[in-house]
Structure formats: C-alpha cells, structure tokens
Amino acid sequence: MCLTPLADASNPIMAQVAFLSAMVGSDVAKAAAQAAISSLHKVDIAGGNNESDDKLRSAAPNGEKEEEAVAASNGQTSSDVLDEAVSEAQSQLKKEEQDVEQYLSDVVQVQMKEIQDKIAHFEELELLLEKERLQLRHMKDILFADQLAIMQHKMQILSKGNEKGEKVKQTNHVP
C-alpha cells in the first residue's frame, strides 16, 4: 500500500512526513507546511540570513510560489499574506466555534424537550393517581357507612328480639 510517492523514500523522515500528510489530508498538510516555512522565514529574518529564504521559496510547492508571486504583484509582503492567513484562520475558527455552540444548543434543546415531555407525562400520572386515591377514599367511606348501617340494623333486630323475649318472660311469671 503506497500512500504517496514519498512513502517509499529512502529518507525515513520524508517517509514519516508523507504518511502523516496522507492521514490528515491535503489542506492540513498545506497549512502545516506554510506554517513551517513562515516560522523558518522569521528565524532567518531575525538572524539576517537571506540564503535560506531563497531555499525556502524553491522548496515551496508551485501553488505557494504562485501565491507569493501574486502577493508580490499586489504589493503585499509575506508578513501581510501571513497576517491575512491568520485573520482568515481566526474567522474560520470563530465560525466553527459558533457552529459547535449552535449544535450544543440544539442538543440541549432536544434534551430539554424530552425532559419536559417526561415531566408532563408524570404530572398526568400523578393526577390520575390522585383521582384514583380520592375514589378509593370515597369507596372506603361508603363501605364504612354500609357497615355502620348493617351494625345498627343488627342492633335494632337484637333489641327488638330482647324486648319480645322480656315480654314472654313477663307473661310467663304472672301468678
């Protein structure tokens, strides 16, 4: 499996670079290469070495040479181009952060909706249980009233039976 032409290079560093660039994608590899070139360029400017600047430009891919040529024709320096790239990267980062915040907000809203639905369902169940509890309480009161009526009826029957029994006893004792 050959990822890039440099993957078979005899130089292990170049093989590793080729492998990593294949794994992250061409845009990320291009951005990393540009960052490395700009970093080396800054080091050379600080050191006053212009020879490595020519080497960097010759080592840069054709697309970067064209960008530098366009920048030079527009009157921009490499620092202007880098500043522009930095501002573009920052704006893209802000956009991505806003997208992430929006996605998180959407997820939170969906979860809140689910929680509100569950709360509404539990409130309905609570009302239903309260209604059933009141019905059971009412039935218990009715049962108690029925039992009390039965007991009173039994007492009346027993008291009538006792009155008849006393009358019978009184009539039997007459001399």
Residues 50-93 have pLDDT tens digits of 554 455 455 545 555 555 554 455 556 777 888 888 899 999 99
Alpha helix (H) residue ranges in the chain? 12-24, 26-47, 51-59, 62-74, 78-172
Mean pLDDT, rounded, for 15-28: 75
Q: What is the pLDDT of residues 113-130, one digit of tens each?
A: 999 999 999 999 999 999
| Residue 2, helix vs strand vs coil | coil
Q: Are 118 and 126 in contact (CB under 8 A)?
A: no
What pLDDT does 146 receive? 97
In whole angstroms, give the CA distance from residue 47 to residue 53: 11
Delimit the domains of the chain by residue range: 1-76
Above pLDDT 70, what percent of the chain?
Answer: 71
DSSP 49: -
C-alpha separations of 48 from 40, 59, 80, 106 in Å: 12, 19, 19, 53
Q: Is 48 left (phi over 0), alpha (psi -120 to 50) or beta?
A: left
What pLDDT does 56 receive? 47
What pLDDT does 42 receive? 80
Q: Which residues, at least 6 apart from 82, have a Cβ–Cβ distance to it below 8 Å?
A: 38
- Following CA atoms 26, 27, 31, 36 in sequence, which dihedral angle do they give, to the nearest 10 degrees? -10
Q: What is the pLDDT of residues 30-48, one digit of tens each?
A: 787 788 888 877 877 777 6
Q: What is the pLDDT of residues 1-15, one digit of tens each?
A: 445 555 566 777 777
Q: Which residues, at least 6 apart from 119, have a Cβ–Cβ distance to it below 8 Å?
A: none
Q: Are 33 and 61 in contact (CB under 8 A)?
A: yes
What pLDDT does 144 receive? 97
